[in-house]
Amino acid sequence: GENICEERVEVTCKVPEQGYSMKFPESPKEMEKLCSDAIPFGECVANYQEQCSSRSVMPLQLVQSLLKAGKTFCEKNSAWYRGAPKFGNCYESLKRNLPFDFFRNCASEIEKDSKLAYLTDTKIHTSLHSCYYSIESASCLAEKVSKDCGELAKELGLHFIREAGPWNFICQDHQSKALKLMKDLNFTFDPKTSEEEFGASLQS
């Protein structure tokens, strides 16, 4: 067959109509469409990454992690499949209205805390610095989602992150330091609910 690596990934793998900026589904019908578009696209990108490592778009592990989470969320009888459209509207407006310096400002607020002086240590390695920033950003976003869209919406996001396996793509070499920061921020990637509990809360 022809060599798929000669083409760019977006030529080889048809990008879904929504493009890369996937809109959050706001109805069961939109959820169904998102799943039927995104999963084959994700599988194609993962396959492309495996075969064309020289043309890597993003780390293969990240693609595989997101694909795994996507497949779990697209199982039709799952609580996630039912839950995603419930919060889609709020997620979407939060995404649209998030100030462009939201993460930077939120991180600066966090760094004012004297207990967290290690965050601004100029001697730390760039990769540790970006690890810390990822954790700060995640914690800021989780708080914002909880405040604007409710605790259950935050839980849904954490379940997605947990499915994907956050340590596959952030802080790979600094997990123990990342966990210390999370403890100091009182933030965790672990959802408080199981799928059953999440599903039951959706009904109530």
Q: How far apart are CA 23 and CA 5, in angstroms?
A: 28
Provide the 8-state DSSP code for 18: T
pLDDT at 2: 60
pTM of the model: 0.88
CA dihedral 77, 67, 127, 186 (to 10 degrees): 0
Tens-binned pLDDT, residue by residue, of the chain (204 aa): 467 888 888 888 887 776 666 789 999 999 999 999 999 999 999 998 888 877 766 788 888 999 999 999 999 989 999 999 999 999 999 999 999 999 999 999 999 999 999 999 989 889 999 999 999 999 999 999 999 999 999 999 999 999 999 888 789 889 999 999 999 999 999 999 999 999 999 887
pLDDT at 188: 95
pLDDT at 1: 45
